């Protein structure tokens, strides 16, 4: 018996040793095509992408962020535009939008909430690096490194101003999108940022009809409305906005001092310039204090309503999860053809029904907690948003809004102090 075991073990070792040559051996003899001189096709195998290229991509990202900072510090709009064009070509058409810093927040979310989820280092770096640069230099990633923003920056040909009231309403959408994306990623349900990325269809030259329509719509709007995706949709912009508010070396409209000429007030197509505000009068101060008292009274109500709405929608949202959908199909009496396919696929796995139900119940519980917390958080943010829109703060100069500014440098050329600087620089170069 022991000899038989040794023979079987030796046979297994030999088979494993020759397994690497299996692809080189035909299963059946090939037919003879001597008379027709037909050439047998060469069997080709798709090789995995070398791991070193991931770090090359990270190095390119870091280099582009540094170049964006240098272009901004030198106030070179030309260099910023060239860098944006490179980002569209490299991160967009060559890399086909993956790895994407915008979508990487879903990987980060799932890694935080699911201990068995592995996240590559390159994805972490693509998520963290733009935020670090925003924390010190502003949103230079948006300016000319992000393939989504760079494309919109390049497409804008005839800017049209969005009404202020409408812009303030639309700016809340990214917070909703971010919350929804975090909830679905944390529960392992879907990566909706990648699924509904309007530029992937363009960069990969394919996509469903609905996605192609969405892509065409965003591109068409981008010709006249500055960065509509970045300003009113992008969930990653919420984090960049927050980090950029604390930036120590953010760009300024003027190279030295503001003369309050007002020439730059219409320079920004993104509505990111804050105008001078005089000191509020006593009447306005009383009005703001009264508004603050009212808001403090309704603020808890907004949080409670948001949390309740989140809890109420948890069950409906949980049906987006495949596991919950399979459990629902299994327990359903009258099954649709789609549900029958789900049940058949589940039966083929050999798993027990009770295990599926237990897993679906656990996921539903995660949705209940997540939806409640997110709903309450959105209620809190809505109150804060209303407060910020109605409070005036004194400001003497024309300044970029550090959170909203994309650090693109479009406003520089409108400043007369900048024109004076360029004139002096040209004279120095001619003299030299």
Would 321 be classed as within a structural domain? Answer: yes
pLDDT over 80 (residue 38):
no
Considering its fold, how many domains does the chain have in total? 2
Q: Are residues 105 and 245 located together in one domain of the fold? A: yes
How many C-beta neighbours within 10 Å does residue 220 have?
Answer: 12
pLDDT over 50 (residue 21):
no
Would 381 be classed as within a structural domain? Answer: yes
pLDDT at 64 (0 to 100): 95
pLDDT over 70 (residue 84):
yes
Average pLDDT over residues 294-319: 91
pLDDT at 11 (0 to 100): 58
Would 11 be classed as within a structural domain? Answer: no
Would 196 be classed as within a structural domain? Answer: yes
Would 33 be classed as within a structural domain? Answer: no
User: Could you tell me the pLDDT band of residue 16, with boundaries at 50, 70 and 90?
Assistant: very low
Q: Are residues 385 and 407 located together in one domain of the fold? A: no
Asked if residues 346 and 362 have their Cβ atoms less than 8 Å apart, the reply is no
Q: Are residues 121 and 170 located together in one domain of the fold? A: yes
User: The pTM is what?
Assistant: 0.83
Q: Are residues 225 and 88 located together in one domain of the fold? A: yes
Would 327 be classed as within a structural domain? Answer: yes
Average pLDDT over residues 98-127: 92
pLDDT at 19 (0 to 100): 46
User: Could you tell me the pLDDT band of residue 291, with boundaries at 50, 70 and 90?
Assistant: confident
Q: Tell me how far apart the 2 most distant CA atoms of the chain are, in Å.
A: 102
Average pLDDT over residues 385-403: 83
Q: Are residues 80 and 192 located together in one domain of the fold? A: yes
Would 125 be classed as within a structural domain? Answer: yes
Instruction: Dump pLDDT digits (tens) for 221-262.
Output: 999 999 999 999 999 999 999 999 999 999 999 988 888 888
Q: Are residues 224 and 79 located together in one domain of the fold? A: yes
Instruction: Dump pLDDT digits (tens) for 330-372.
Output: 777 666 777 777 777 777 777 787 888 898 899 999 999 999 9
Instruction: Dump pLDDT digits (tens) for 260-290.
Output: 888 888 889 998 998 888 877 777 778 878 8
pLDDT over 90 (residue 310):
yes
Q: Are residues 81 and 211 located together in one domain of the fold? A: yes
Q: Are residues 136 and 240 located together in one domain of the fold? A: yes
Percent of the chain with pLDDT over 90: 50
Whole-number Å distance between alpha carbons of 410 and 422: 15
pLDDT at 356 (0 to 100): 83
Instruction: Dump pLDDT digits (tens) for 44-70.
Output: 766 767 777 888 999 999 999 999 999
Q: Are residues 116 and 178 located together in one domain of the fold? A: yes
Burial class (CB in 10 A: 0-12, 13-18, 19+), 116: exposed
Would 171 be classed as within a structural domain? Answer: yes
Whole-number Å distance between alpha carbons of 226 and 269: 6
How many C-beta neighbours within 10 Å does residue 386 have?
Answer: 17
Whole-number Å distance between alpha carbons of 170 and 274: 18
pLDDT over 90 (residue 116):
no
Instruction: Dump pLDDT digits (tens) for 400-417.
Output: 999 999 999 999 999 999
Q: Are residues 288 and 405 located together in one domain of the fold? A: no
pLDDT at 340 (0 to 100): 73
User: Could you tell me the pLDDT band of residue 22, with boundaries at 50, 70 and 90?
Assistant: very low
pLDDT at 124 (0 to 100): 95
Q: Which residues pair with 244 in a beta bridge?
A: none
Q: Which domain holds residue 383?
A: 282-389
User: Could you tell me the pLDDT band of residue 20, with boundaries at 50, 70 and 90?
Assistant: very low
Residue owning tokens 């080189």: 24
Asked if residues 363 and 324 have their Cβ atoms less than 8 Å apart, the reply is yes
Q: Which of 123, 119, 80, 71 is nearest to 101 (CA)?
A: 123
pLDDT over 70 (residue 204):
yes
Average pLDDT over residues 191-211: 89
On average, the pLDDT of the chain sits at 86
Whole-number Å distance between alpha carbons of 241 and 244: 5
User: Could you tell me the pLDDT band of residue 395, with boundaries at 50, 70 and 90?
Assistant: confident
- Nearby residues of 284 by Cβ (< 8 Å), 6 or more positions away: 392
pLDDT over 80 (residue 39):
no
Whole-number Å distance between alpha carbons of 244 and 247: 5
């Amino acid at each position: 018996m022991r000899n038989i075991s040794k023979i079987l073990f030796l046979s297994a070792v030999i088979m494993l040793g020759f397994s690497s040559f299996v692809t080189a051996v035909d299963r059946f003899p090939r037919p003879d095509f001597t008379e027709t001189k037909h050439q047998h096709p060469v069997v080709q195998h798709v090789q995995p992408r070398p791991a070193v290229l991931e770090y090359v991509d990270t190095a390119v990202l870091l280099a582009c962020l540094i170049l964006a900072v240098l272009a901004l510090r030198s106030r070179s709009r030309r260099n910023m535009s060239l860098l944006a064009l490179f980002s569209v070509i490299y991160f967009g058409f060559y890399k086909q939008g993956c790895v994407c810093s915008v979508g990487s927040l879903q990987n980060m979310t799932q890694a935080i909430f699911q201990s068995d989820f592995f996240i590559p280092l390159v994805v972490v770096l693509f998520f963290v690096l733009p935020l670090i640069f925003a924390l010190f230099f502003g949103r230079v990633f948006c300016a000319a490194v992000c393939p989504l923003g760079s494309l919109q920056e390049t497409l804008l040909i005839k800017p049209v101003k969005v009404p202020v009231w409408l812009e303030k309403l639309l700016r809340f959408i990214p917070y909703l999108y971010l919350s929804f994306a975090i909830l679905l990623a944390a529960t392992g349900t879907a990566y909706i940022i990648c699924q509904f990325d309007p530029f992937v269809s363009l960069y990969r030259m394919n996509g469903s009809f609905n996605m192609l329509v969405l892509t065409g719509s965003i591109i068409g709007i981008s010709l006249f409305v500055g960065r509509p995706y970045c300003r009113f949709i992008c969930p990653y912009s919420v984090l960049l906005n927050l980090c950029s508010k604390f930036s120590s070396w953010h760009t300024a409209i003027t190279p030295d001092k503001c003369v309050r000429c007002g020439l730059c007030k219409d320079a920004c197509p993104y509505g990111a310039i804050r105008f001078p505000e005089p000191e509020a009068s006593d009447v306005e101060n009383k009005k703001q204090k009264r508004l603050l008292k009212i808001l403090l009274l309704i603020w808890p109500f907004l949080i409670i309503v948001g949390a309740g709405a989140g809890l109420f929608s948890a069950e409906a949202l949980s049906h987006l999860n495949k596991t919950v959908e399979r459990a629902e199909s299994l327990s359903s009496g009258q099954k649709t053809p789609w549900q029958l396919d789900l049940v058949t696929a589940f039966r083929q796995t050999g798993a027990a029904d009770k295990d599926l139900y237990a897993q679906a119940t656990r996921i539903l519980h995660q949705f209940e907690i997540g939806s409640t917390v997110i709903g309450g958080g959105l209620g809190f943010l809505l109150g804060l948003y209303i407060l910020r829109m109605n409070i005036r703060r004194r400001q003497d100069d024309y300044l970029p809004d550090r959170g909203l500014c994309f650090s693109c440098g479009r406003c520089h050329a409108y400043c007369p102090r900048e024109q004076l600087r360029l004139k002096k620089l040209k004279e120095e170069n001619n003299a030299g």
